[in-house]
């Protein structure tokens, strides 16, 4: 069976040419093209276009784009059922007397499609209904031919392995969060005796810490399914007969706010005399993150330093050399729709494309902005045209953005892991806003009536 080739980083929709890829689909109604590119179609026609025949196999960019966007209109398990039905019906796979030569011609193509689906969207198969349809179809393909039985077995083992790894990761996240909660409880119980160690007591090398943050970010990216970006837009489609779609089964969401807050909170509680040193250290860590291409950790550090409980510490900031921080803030300046950051991201992306080493391939985007971009792309274009057809031009653009992310998330971190630093970063307590303000006022007293009133209120509640 042909193996699924590596997924291309950039979807080039111009390669989806009607003449090259239509084959026997040429006469099927319900698909419309613009400049030889698929522009729109009915849901039925698009599903039909997904299913291979003896003489036809869909373009890989179409497979990814349709599997990504179809969940806006139909449940993945319903789509799988429809695909199975078409395969059975068109190729007469359910007929015991079916021509074996015909089955041998179509089986590799159907297995290729199923392999692409299970490898790119494995979380769809957490649904038992998906697995039932998959088993039914692959059983038909594998019966009577040892070669296809082996191929089906390899595909199934790969899918089970990916789902098992995901479950293990989710269990690990639960344990990490539990440990962080325990540390926070200990700090509350003994605020004087259990002062949190600052990160410098574990590692005083900014580059090493930036490397470990990159490990954390890349691991999180690796478990995010492409469908999770679309899932946020899933809602009832009034034109689809009361079908309400839901696709994403993964508990790991793109916007991991807990991780972001944890990184922002690493400045408290730290002994007063060390705070300026810690802040300068994190500025150096942020600079190393920028050099690596880890923009998400960079923005988390900048956000942490700009939080009111930190930014109000004038005495501490007076001891910090802020020139490097000013440069980093300029790079992540939100003005002009994050123009500076987008320029830096394009540079990192280009470096990644031409890179010879794993280190140069790293691109970790500022996640909140990536999600915002996809959100506005979705809001700015209709899903359906006036004639009821699905607006496939919109979904080409959506797939372009998500496919770029798919390339970024597949990069393996080239840096050596430091278990102590990782443990510290992953299990650092996440303090509430009130707790941070209280720590801030204890470090540098309130300067105006509003701060004094808030300090009194927080002190009474603590």
Residue 34, strand partner residues: 37
In a 3-state reduction of DSSP, which class is residue 412? coil
* Residue 150 three-state SS: helix
Nearest to 247 by CA among 76, 406, 365, 385: 76
**Residue 74, pLDDT score:** 94
Taking alpha carbons only, the member of 112, 110, 90, 97 closest to residue 144 is 97
At residue 315, φ and ψ (nearest 5 deg) are -65, -40
What are the C-alpha distances in Å from 200 to residues 164, 182, 227? 36, 22, 39
- Alpha carbons 171 and 174: distance in angstroms, whole number: 5
pLDDT at residue 429 in the model: 81
Residue 369 pLDDT: 93
Q: Do 366 and 295 meet the contact criterion of CB atoms below 8 Å apart? A: yes
Residues spanned by CATH 1.20.870.10 within the chain? Answer: 41-161
- How wide is the angle at C-alpha 208 spanned by C-alphas 207 and 209, nearest 5°? 90
**Residue pLDDT tens, the chain, 462 long:** 333 343 344 444 343 334 333 444 444 688 999 988 999 999 999 999 999 988 899 999 999 999 999 999 999 999 999 999 998 877 666 565 566 666 777 889 999 999 999 999 999 999 999 999 999 999 888 776 788 889 999 999 999 999 999 999 999 989 988 888 888 787 777 654 444 567 888 999 999 999 999 999 999 999 999 999 988 776 544 444 333 333 333 344 443 455 556 665 676 656 666 888 889 999 999 999 999 999 999 999 998 888 888 899 998 899 999 999 999 999 999 999 999 999 999 999 999 999 988 899 999 999 989 999 999 998 899 999 999 999 999 999 999 999 999 999 999 999 999 999 999 998 888 788 888 888 888 888 999 999 899 988 888 876
Cβ proximity of 226 and 304 under 8 Å = no
DSSP label at 191? T
Encode 194-254 in three state secondary structure.
CCCCCHHHCCCCHHHHHHHHHHHHHHHHHCCCCHHHHHCCCCCCCCCCCCCCCCCCCCCCC
Q: Which fold has domain 41-161?
A: Son of sevenless (SoS) protein; Chain S, domain 1 (1.20.870)
Structure tokens at 26: 């040429």
**Of 113, 116, 104, which is closest to residue 142 (Cα–Cα)?**
104
**Matching residue, tokens 């359910």:** 94
Helix (H), strand (E) at residue 422: helix 419-427
Instruction: Kindly report the pTM of this predicted structure.
Output: 0.85
- pLDDT of 291 reads 96
Residue 276 burial (CB count, 10 A): 18
Burial (Cβ within 10 Å: 0-12, 13-18, ≥19) of residue 334: exposed
Q: Nearest-CA neighbor of 327 among 284, 367, 374, 265?
A: 284
- In order, the DSSP letters of 298-356 are HHHHHHHHTSHHHHT-HHHHHTS--HHHHHHHHHT--HHHHHHHHHHHHHHHHHHHH-S
Give ranges for CATH 1.10.840.10 in the chain: 197-235+250-430
pLDDT of residue 77: 96
Q: Write down the CATH number for the domain with range 197-235+250-430.
A: 1.10.840.10
3-state secondary structure of 391: strand
If you compute the radius of gyration of the chain from its CA atoms, what whole number of angstroms results? 26
């Amino acid at each position: 069976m042909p193996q699924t080739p590596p997924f291309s980083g950039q979807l080039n929709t111009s390669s989806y040419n009607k003449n090259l890829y239509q084959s026997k689909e040429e006469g099927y109604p319900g698909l419309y093209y613009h400049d030889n590119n698929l522009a729109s179609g009915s849901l039925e026609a698009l599903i039909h276009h997904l299913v291979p025949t003896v003489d036809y196999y869909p373009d890989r960019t179409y497979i990814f784009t349709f599997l990504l966007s179809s969940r806006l209109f139909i449940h993945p398990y319903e789509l799988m059922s429809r695909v199975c039905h078409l395969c059975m019906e068109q190729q007469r796979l359910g007929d015991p007397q079916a021509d074996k030569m015909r089955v041998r011609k179509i089986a590799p193509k159907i297995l290729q499609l199923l392999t692409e689906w299970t490898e790119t969207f494995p979380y769809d198969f957490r649904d038992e209904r998906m697995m039932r349809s998959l088993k039914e179809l692959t059983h038909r393909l594998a019966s009577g031919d040892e070669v296809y039985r082996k191929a089906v077995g390899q595909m199934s083992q790969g899918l089970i392995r990916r789902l098992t790894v995901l479950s293990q990761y989710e269990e690990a996240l639960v344990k990490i969060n539990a440990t962080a909660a325990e540390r926070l409880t200990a700090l509350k119980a003994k605020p004087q005796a259990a002062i949190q160690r600052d990160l410098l007591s574990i590692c005083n090398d900014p580059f090493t810490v930036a490397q470990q943050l990159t490990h954390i970010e890349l691991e999180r990216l690796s478990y995010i399914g492409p469908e999770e970006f679309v899932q946020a837009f899933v809602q009832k489609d009034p034109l689809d007969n009361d079908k309400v779609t839901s696709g994403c089964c993964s508990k790991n969401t793109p916007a991991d706010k807990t991780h972001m807050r944890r990184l922002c909170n690493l400045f408290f509680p730290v002994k007063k005399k060390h705070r300026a040193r810690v802040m300068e250290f994190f500025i150096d860590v942020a600079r190393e993150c920028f050099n690596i291409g880890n923009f998400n950790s960079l923005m988390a550090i900048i956000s942490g330093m700009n939080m009111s409980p930190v930014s109000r510490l004038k005495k501490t900031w007076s001891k910090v050399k802020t020139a490097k921080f000013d440069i980093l803030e300029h790079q992540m300046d939100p003005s002009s729709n994050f123009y500076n950051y987008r320029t830096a991201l394009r540079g990192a992306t280009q470096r990644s494309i031409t890179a010879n080493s794993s280190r140069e391939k790293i691109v970790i985007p500022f996640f909140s902005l990536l999600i915002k971009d996809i959100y506005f792309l979705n809001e700015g274009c209709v899903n359906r045209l006036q004639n009821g057809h699905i607006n496939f031009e919109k979904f080409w653009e959506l797939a372009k953005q998500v496919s770029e992310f798919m390339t970024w998330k597949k990069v393996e971190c080239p840096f050596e892991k430091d278990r102590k630093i990782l443990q510290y970063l992953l299990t650092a307590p996440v303090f509430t806003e009130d707790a941070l303000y209280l720590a801030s006022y204890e470090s540098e007293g309130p300067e105006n009536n509003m701060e004094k009133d808030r300090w009194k209120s927080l002190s009474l509640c603590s």
